[in-house]
């Protein structure tokens, strides 16, 4: 179901749905999800139904389930972890006289929802005429507090257009019914009634429910409290059962009168703490919310976001789609991470159950680069989460007969949950992706406290893993066999260039970190011989190159594999229509792999190699993964295909706002949303940091007049303001400080005293703009817009 501009107009600071599209409910619930990284609310309607997927999530709160194998194998994980739809506190049911407000009945005269990215709220206004002809207006506003981690709140107001009796039922409901499960492997496993009731309590204006998972043994408390304002007599009462609690408000409204309630919601969960402790934690959060009051919560929310936008905003003149989308992406990246505080940032954040709520390499590879430059504290917390799973990764390495630590391909709590090892365990590159995220954090922020605190052990243990996974062949080349790179259509290969380069970087970074922290390294039993062995392997790493074609094969032999028949196989994503046994040995690429290597390890390729490689892989890449378009945008921009890059940036940006991958309903594609920033900032801004210098090289496509973005670098904030001729670099947070950056390959010193204006360095493409496989051209901005206007 495509989302069009009619339903969701392009506006710079908000996402607005102009009328209720029931067919788009799964998608709009994801788009309108609110989260602070700890609590996640899908944008379900206040009254609970109709719904696409009911969803209330707590980061790290999962249930285990057995992973079945028709043919077992050693080392296959036995248990999966699945995100749980916890107690739903969003529910506010409304009866108008004796008829429940349900948009499917009566007449919906108007309905608008607005996600306000500066206010951090989802608001809704509706006019409804009941089947009996009674008309009302509803205004509700919902927030998940960025300032107070355990809190959410809803303001709900009903205005009568006739004299009516109004009944509100504000609820907590556990074990909500779920839609039937799907066959698509990218969708979650169905969890049926995952919560076991522990306790329910009713108070005068609220209630509390405590539940527990059966397998993972986690306990969750959800509490609600209400402020009620209404004219005349207002009756408030409460009742509850094991899986539900209800506060009922009844009053009579005369025409023009309003009933307003504010619902405070508190959530807490723990694997350790007692039932009374959780109960008190929820009660304390409620008390704190009452102390702030609704306006106080709104103010704190906006203040948090004002600060964020001041640090992170990207302005895209001339391209309103990308303007809206990059803010939408940054907003959701912040929502997924702001208060995650040493919990994972899942592939879909807390916006849906897609991929079972698991975190993948998306976190370190796609989300953390953005957070490191825009919200470094959140990046540090995400790194701390990963480091907290190191012991589990050590266990996994031992199971795999490897040294050091091997991090899971997909997980919630840290155990490997991937049940298909060729696109799971074999994707060892995640270890280097994690290691390099620690290094990027250190380089960009200049803060090496995280390295000291927990990063060094991660670097050392991943280096050890690589050293035991790779080997020197009898010609002295250091090779890594039997691994899967980012491209999951060519798996279990020899010498994947991406993996080999990242592994070598991981080894070098670990060696350097040990030199910085010799005592801590010694505690990890690292000696000079071990460090030397890391450096030797890194220096001898084998990078296959096809001399005849002048391109890098993505892995050994790739360029002599069978060419894929793109004319005969036209149903995408291919993974749902073609067997792996046919995909793997063909020159068909799911997602940027060698091309991603050229972004992340930019210094390892010449400009000519980059141009030729882009040209080769563009023709063979299907972008069946949402992680691809942003990378293709960056590298197409670098080699001078600026218009193609702009198309890819658009595709990465609009993936969810226009449901381009047809599965936004399962949750947002957080990596692609983060990739919007990357496409603009690394693509058209030319940002690179793989040589530990802030390197920029802006050049804009025709459709963008001006690009203005901000970065944190060391103790500075840097603003980059580029148009087609000039770039202005502004260094903030002085006084009288200077910073050496690289502009278009040359060192440039910028100062807090005054902006520095330089000329754009125009890139001429070495090769003509490449073609993509038939039917896999990027979504053209022009086409999508005209379609939607038709």
Which residues are the active-site residues? Answer: 488
- Looking at 168-176, 207-215, 556-564, 592-600, which segment touches a copy of itself (CB under 8 A)? 556-564
- Looking at 142-150, 466-474, 649-657, 734-742, which segment touches a copy of itself (CB under 8 A)? 466-474
Going by C-alpha positions, the residue among 253, 283, 103, 104 that lies closest to residue 168 is 253
**Look-up: residue for tokens 């993936």?**
655
Q: Does 582 bind a copy of itself (CB under 8 A)?
A: yes
Comparison of 257 and 578: residue with beta carbon closer to a copy of itself = 578
Comparison of 72 and 754: residue with beta carbon closer to a copy of itself = 72
CB of 213 to a copy of itself, least distance (A): 19
Q: Pick the binder of a copy of itself from 107, 310, 473, 527 (CB under 8 A).
A: 473
Comparison of 318 and 422: residue with beta carbon closer to a copy of itself = 422
Asked whether the bond before 50 is cis by omega within 30 degrees of 0, the reply is yes
CB of 392 to a copy of itself, least distance (A): 16
Helix, strand, or coil here: 117? coil
Comparison of 47 and 461: residue with beta carbon closer to a copy of itself = 461
CB of 84 to a copy of itself, least distance (A): 18
φ, ψ dihedrals at 697, nearest 5°:
-165, 65
CB of 714 to a copy of itself, least distance (A): 40
CB of 216 to a copy of itself, least distance (A): 17
CB of 421 to a copy of itself, least distance (A): 5
Q: Does 5 bind a copy of itself (CB under 8 A)?
A: no
Q: Does 69 bind a copy of itself (CB under 8 A)?
A: yes
- Looking at 445-453, 469-477, 600-608, 766-774, which segment touches a copy of itself (CB under 8 A)? 469-477
Give the separation between CA 47 and CA 105, rounded to whole angstroms: 13
Comparison of 343 and 479: residue with beta carbon closer to a copy of itself = 479
Handedness of CA 269, 273, 279, 285 (dihedral sign): negative
- Looking at 27-35, 62-70, 287-295, 313-321, which segment touches a copy of itself (CB under 8 A)? 62-70
CB of 371 to a copy of itself, least distance (A): 29
Please enumerate, as own/partner, the contacts of 762-766 that have beta carbons within 8 Å and a separation of 24 or more.
762/699, 763/638, 763/639, 763/640, 763/642, 763/699, 764/640, 765/611, 765/639, 765/640, 765/641, 766/607, 766/608, 766/611, 766/612, 766/639, 766/640
Comparison of 519 and 571: residue with beta carbon closer to a copy of itself = 571
Q: Does 536 bind a copy of itself (CB under 8 A)?
A: no
Q: What is the DSSP string of 1-57?
A: ----TTTS-B-SSEEEESS--GGGHHHHHHHT-EE-SSEEE----TT--S-SS--EE
Q: Does 533 bind a copy of itself (CB under 8 A)?
A: no
Residues 6+ apart with CB under 8 A from 762: 699
- Specify whether the CB–CB gap between 624 and 710 falls below 8 A: no
Please, what is the end-to-end C-alpha distance for the chain in angstroms? 16
Pairing type for strands 738-743 and 695-696 reads parallel
Comparison of 465 and 720: residue with beta carbon closer to a copy of itself = 465
Q: Pick the binder of a copy of itself from 561, 748, 766, 767 (CB under 8 A).
A: 561
Side-chain half-sphere CA neighbours of 291 within 13 A: 8
Beta bridge partners of 728: 721, 757
Residues 6+ apart with CB under 8 A from 679: 629, 630, 633, 634, 637, 645, 648, 649, 652, 653
Q: Pick the binder of a copy of itself from 74, 104, 547, 774 (CB under 8 A).
A: 74
CB of 584 to a copy of itself, least distance (A): 5
Q: What is the number of other CB atoms lying within 10 angstroms of the CB of residue 229?
A: 12
Comparison of 34 and 574: residue with beta carbon closer to a copy of itself = 574
DSSP annotation of 100 = E
CB of 181 to a copy of itself, least distance (A): 11
Give the separation between CA 366 and CA 462, rounded to whole angstroms: 19
Side-chain half-sphere CA neighbours of 200 within 13 A: 16
Going by the annotation, the residues of the binding site for substrate are 361-362, 590-591
Find the binding residues for a copy of itself in span 387-406 (CB under 8 A). Answer: 399-402
Q: Does 466 bind a copy of itself (CB under 8 A)?
A: no
Size of the site for a copy of itself (CB under 8 A): 57
Comparison of 583 and 741: residue with beta carbon closer to a copy of itself = 583
Q: Does 82 bind a copy of itself (CB under 8 A)?
A: no
**What distances in angstroms separate CA 415 from CA 56, 213, 396, 461, 535, one per listed residue?**
23, 18, 8, 16, 30
Compute the C-alpha angle 56/376/380, nearest 5°.
70
Beta bridge partners of 751: 738
Find the binding residues for a copy of itself in span 412-431 (CB under 8 A). Answer: 418-426
Q: Pick the binder of a copy of itself from 80, 329, 544, 703 (CB under 8 A).
A: 80
Maximal C-alpha separation, the chain? 90
- Specify whether the CB–CB gap between 693 and 715 falls below 8 A: no
Comparison of 231 and 422: residue with beta carbon closer to a copy of itself = 422
Q: Does 476 bind a copy of itself (CB under 8 A)?
A: no
Comparison of 356 and 721: residue with beta carbon closer to a copy of itself = 356
CB of 475 to a copy of itself, least distance (A): 8
Going by the annotation, the residues of the binding site are 361-362, 590-591
Q: Mask of contacts with a copy of itself, 750-779, x by CB under 8 A?
A: ------------------------------
CB of 484 to a copy of itself, least distance (A): 9
Q: Does 72 bind a copy of itself (CB under 8 A)?
A: yes
Find the binding residues for a copy of itself in span 154-183 (CB under 8 A). Answer: 183
Q: What is the DSSP string of 720-745?
A: EEEESSEEEEEEES-SS-EEEEEETT
Q: Pick the binder of a copy of itself from 562, 603, 738, 740 (CB under 8 A).
A: 562
- Looking at 200-208, 279-287, 290-298, 557-565, which segment touches a copy of itself (CB under 8 A)? 557-565
- Looking at 52-60, 328-336, 572-580, 698-706, which segment touches a copy of itself (CB under 8 A)? 572-580
Q: Does 585 bind a copy of itself (CB under 8 A)?
A: yes
CB of 543 to a copy of itself, least distance (A): 15
Comparison of 402 and 526: residue with beta carbon closer to a copy of itself = 402
Rg from Cα positions in the chain: 27
Beta bridge partners of 578: none
H-run or E-run covering 368:
helix 368-374
Q: Pick the binder of a copy of itself from 231, 252, 318, 557 (CB under 8 A).
A: 557
φ, ψ dihedrals at 346, nearest 5°:
-75, 160
Q: Mask of contacts with a copy of itself, 203-242, x by CB under 8 A?
A: ----------------------------------------
Give the separation between CA 411 and CA 396, rounded to whole angstroms: 13
- Specify whether the CB–CB gap between 135 and 109 falls below 8 A: yes
Q: Pick the binder of a copy of itself from 578, 643, 777, 787 (CB under 8 A).
A: 578
- Specify whether the CB–CB gap between 32 and 113 falls below 8 A: yes
Q: Does 73 bind a copy of itself (CB under 8 A)?
A: yes
Q: Does 70 bind a copy of itself (CB under 8 A)?
A: yes
Going by C-alpha positions, the residue among 609, 470, 640, 618 that lies closest to residue 545 is 609
Q: What are the residues binding a copy of itself (CB under 8 A)?
A: 67-76, 80, 183, 185, 399-402, 418-426, 471, 473-475, 479, 481-483, 491-492, 494, 548, 556-557, 560-563, 568-569, 575-582, 584-586
């Amino acid at each position: 179901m495509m989302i069009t501009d009619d339903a969701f107009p392009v506006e710079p600071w908000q996402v607005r749905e102009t009328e209720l599209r029931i067919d788009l409910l799964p998608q709009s619930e994801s788009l309108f999800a609110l989260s602070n990284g700890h609590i996640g609310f899908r944008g379900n309607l206040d009254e609970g139904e109709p719904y696409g997927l009911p969803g209330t999530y707590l980061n790290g709160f999962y249930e285990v389930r057995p992973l079945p194998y028709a043919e077992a194998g050693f080392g296959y994980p036995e248990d999966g972890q699945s995100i749980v739809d916890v107690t739903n506190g969003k529910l506010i049911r409304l009866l108008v006289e004796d008829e429940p407000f349900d948009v499917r009945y009566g007449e919906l005269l108007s309905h608008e929802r607005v996600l306000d990215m500066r206010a951090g709220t989802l608001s809704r206004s509706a006019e409804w005429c009941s089947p009996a002809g009674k008309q009302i207006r509803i205004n509700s506003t919902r927030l998940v507090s960025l300032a107070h981690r355990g809190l959410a709140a809803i303001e709900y107001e009903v205005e009568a257009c006739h004299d009516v009796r109004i009944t509100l039922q504000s609820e907590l409901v556990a074990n909500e019914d779920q839609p039937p499960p799907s066959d698509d492997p990218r969708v979650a496993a169905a969890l049926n009634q995952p919560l076991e009731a522990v306790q329910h309590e009713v108070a005068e204006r609220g209630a509390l429910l405590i539940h527990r998972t059966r397998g993972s043994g986690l306990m969750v408390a959800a509490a609600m409290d209400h402020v009620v304002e209404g004219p005349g007599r207002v009756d408030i009462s409460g009742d509850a059962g094991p899986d539900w609690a209800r506060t009922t408000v009844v009053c009579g409204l005369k025409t023009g009168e309003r009933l307003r309630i504010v619902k405070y919601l508190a959530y807490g969960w723990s694997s350790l703490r007692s039932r009374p402790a959780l109960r008190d934690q929820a009660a304390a959060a409620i008390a704190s919310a009452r102390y702030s009051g609704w306006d106080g919560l709104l103010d704190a929310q906006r203040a948090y976001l004002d600060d964020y936008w001041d640090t992170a905003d990207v302005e895209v003149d001339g391209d309103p789609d990308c303007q809206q989308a990059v803010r939408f992406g940054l907003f959701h990246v912040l929502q997924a991470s702001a208060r995650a505080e040493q919990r994972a940032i899942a592939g879909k954040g807390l916006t849906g159950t897609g991929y079972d709520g698991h975190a993948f390499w998306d976190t370190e590879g796609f989300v953390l680069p953005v957070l490191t430059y825009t919200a470094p504290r959140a990046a540090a917390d995400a790194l701390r989460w990963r480091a907290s799973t190191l012991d589990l990764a050590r266990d996994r390495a031992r199971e795999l007969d490897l040294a050091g630590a091997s991090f899971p391909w997909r997980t919630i709590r840290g155990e490997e949950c991937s049940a298909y090892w060729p696109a799971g365990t074999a994707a060892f590159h995640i270890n280097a992706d994690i290691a390099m995220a620690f290094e990027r954090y250190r380089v960009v922020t200049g803060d090496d406290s995280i390295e000291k605190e927990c990063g060094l052990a991660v670097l050392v243990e991943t280096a050890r893993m690589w050293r035991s996974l790779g080997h020197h062949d009898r010609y002295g080349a250091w090779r890594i066999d039997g691994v899967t790179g980012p491209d999951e259509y060519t798996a279990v290969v020899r010498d994947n260039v991406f993996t080999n380069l990242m592994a070598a970087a991981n080894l070098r970074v670990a060696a350097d970190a040990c030199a910085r922290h010799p005592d801590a390294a010694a505690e990890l039993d690292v000696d000079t011989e071990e460090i030397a062995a890391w450096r030797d392997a890194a220096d001898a790493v084998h990078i296959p190159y096809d001399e005849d074609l002048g391109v890098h094969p993505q892995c050994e032999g790739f360029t002599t594999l069978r060419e894929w028949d793109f004319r005969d196989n036209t149903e995408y994503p291919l993974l749902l229509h073609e067997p792996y046994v046919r995909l793997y040995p063909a020159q068909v690429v799911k997602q940027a792999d060698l091309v991603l290597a050229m972004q992340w390890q930019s210094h390892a390729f010449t400009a000519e190699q980059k141009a030729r490689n882009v040209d080769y892989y563009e023709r063979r890449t299907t972008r069946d993964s949402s992680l691809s378009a942003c990378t293709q945008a960056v590298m197409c921009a670098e080699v001078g295909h600026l218009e193609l890059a702009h198309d890819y940036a658009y595709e990465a940006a609009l993936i969810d706002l226009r449901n381009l991958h047809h599965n936004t309903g399962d949750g947002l594609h957080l990596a692609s949303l983060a990739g919007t920033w990357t496409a603009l900032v690394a693509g058209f801004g030319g940002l690179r940091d793989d040589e530990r210098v802030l390197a920029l090289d802006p050049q804009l496509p025709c459709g963008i007049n001006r690009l203005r973005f901000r970065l944190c670098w060391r103790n500075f904030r840097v603003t980059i303001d580029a148009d087609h001729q000039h770039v202005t670099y502004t260094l903030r947070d002085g006084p009288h400080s200077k910073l050496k950056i690289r502009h278009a390959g040359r060192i440039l010193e910028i100062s807090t005293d005054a902006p520095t204006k330089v000329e754009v360095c125009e890139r001429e493409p070495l090769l003509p703009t490449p073609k993509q496989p038939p039917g896999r051209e990027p979504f053209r901005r022009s086409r999508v817009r005209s379609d939607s206007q038709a």
